[in-house]
């Protein structure tokens, strides 16, 4: 254990449905996109029946959290309204909650209105790519709802974030921005905060690998850490793969992330991510 690890005591739990949700062993968050245009699985699960089948597969594979999203946030994606987003996520969310009453469900949205409606329908966590920047009502809504909130770093918006991302020192600037948002949330009484450095959201491939290399620096925030690396461009540009052929690269990056203290892996492929976690924990427990 390094001196840095000894000095910083990272929080490794959140509260879900009134119970402590332990994150000391990394959890797998399965992505359920009910959108027609997401970069990897757009159009595959945008009917309630198809979404339920995908959820059944993820549950069978050991998923810890399901993250439901109704709006594509890939680079250049067209933004839809809160009403359109809710129409996409409402039926799948209600069907999944009905079938698995105790399964933690996250709603992937930057709209406070959608977050509130989703929580009323049974969601447990808000996952906001914009850290409140795309809907100024979001932080107040999170404070009112008192649920775990994923605060992610993004430079720009999905429409322009990959045009010319620029940092002087990427990790330091991301930590600064996240710290400001965490302070704002805490001033409103929000306690259960999860940090996401935002791989691919306003970052070049070089920025992404700099962040990955230095992920342990995020322990300074003393909060659970979530990463979304699954099948992303940072893999495909290096390995000359496509999102459809990037599973092996994804698993490799997941192992690197776990080694650096990540608590939640947000993934398309639950079975393979759970295997990475199991192997990592077996190594950690070896005598």
Residue-wise pLDDT tens digits, 64-95: 999 999 998 888 778 999 999 999 999 999 99
Q: What is the pLDDT of residue 8?
A: 55
Q: What is the pLDDT of residue 43?
A: 45
Q: What is the pLDDT of residue 9?
A: 59
Residue 232 has pLDDT above 90, yes or no: yes
Active site residues per annotation: 232, 266
pLDDT band at 167 (very low <50, low <70, confident <90, very high): very high
Average pLDDT over residues 114-125: 98
Q: State if pTM tops 0.85.
A: yes
List pLDDT tens digits, range 13-58. 999 999 999 999 999 999 999 987 544 444 444 567 888 999 999 9
Q: What is the pLDDT of residue 40?
A: 46
Residue 171 has pLDDT above 80, yes or no: yes
Q: Which domains does the chain have, with CATH numbers?
A: 19-285 (3.20.20.20)
Question: If you average pLDDT over every residue of the chain, what do you get?
Answer: 92
| Angle ∠(263,203,274) on CA atoms, nearest 5 | 25
Q: What is the pLDDT of residue 75?
A: 81
Q: What is the pLDDT of residue 41?
A: 47
Helix residue spans in the chain (DSSP H) = 3-7, 48-60, 82-99, 112-120, 138-145, 170-187, 205-213, 233-239, 247-259, 270-285
Identify the CA nearest to 34 among candidates 90, 106, 75, 117: 90
More reliable by pLDDT, 38 or 107: 107
Q: What is the pLDDT of residue 120?
A: 97
Residue 108 has pLDDT above 60, yes or no: yes
Q: What is the pLDDT of residue 49?
A: 83
d(CA 282, CA 268): 23
Identify the CA nearest to 196 among candidates 227, 173, 170: 227
């Amino acid at each position: 254990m390094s001196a840095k690890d000894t000095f910083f005591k990272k929080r490794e739990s959140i509260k879900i449905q009134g119970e402590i949700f332990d994150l000391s062993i990394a959890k797998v968050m399965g992505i359920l996109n009910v959108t027609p245009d997401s970069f990897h699985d757009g159009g595959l699960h945008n009917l309630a029946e198809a979404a339920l089948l995908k959820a059944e597969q993820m549950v069978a594979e050991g998923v810890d959290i399901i993250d439901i999203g109704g709006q594509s946030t890939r680079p250049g994606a067209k933004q839809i309204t809160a009403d359109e987003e809710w129409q996409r996520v409402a039926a799948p969310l209600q069907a999944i909650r009905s079938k698995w009453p105790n399964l933690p469900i996250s709603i992937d949205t930057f709209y406070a209105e959608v977050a509130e409606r989703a929580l009323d329908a049974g969601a447990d966590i808000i996952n906001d790519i914009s850290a409140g920047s795309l809907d100024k009502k979001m932080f107040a809504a999170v404070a009112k709802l008192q649920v775990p909130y994923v605060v992610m770093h993004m430079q720009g918006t999905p429409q322009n974030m990959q045009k010319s991302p620029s940092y002087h020192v990427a990790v330091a600037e991301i930590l600064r921005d996240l710290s400001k948002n965490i302070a704002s949330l805490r001033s409103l009484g929000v306690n259960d905060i999860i940090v996401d450095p935002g791989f691919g959201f306003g970052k070049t491939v070089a920025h992404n690998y700099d962040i990955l290399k230095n992920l342990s620096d995020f322990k300074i925030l003393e909060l659970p850490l979530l990463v979304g690396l699954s099948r992303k461009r940072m893999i495909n540009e290096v390995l000359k793969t496509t999102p459809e052929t990037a599973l092996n690269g994804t698993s490799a990056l997941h192992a690197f992330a776990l080694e650096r203290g990540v608590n939640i892996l947000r993934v398309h492929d639950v079975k393979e991510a759970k295997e990475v976690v199991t192997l990592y924990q077996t190594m950690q427990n070896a005598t």
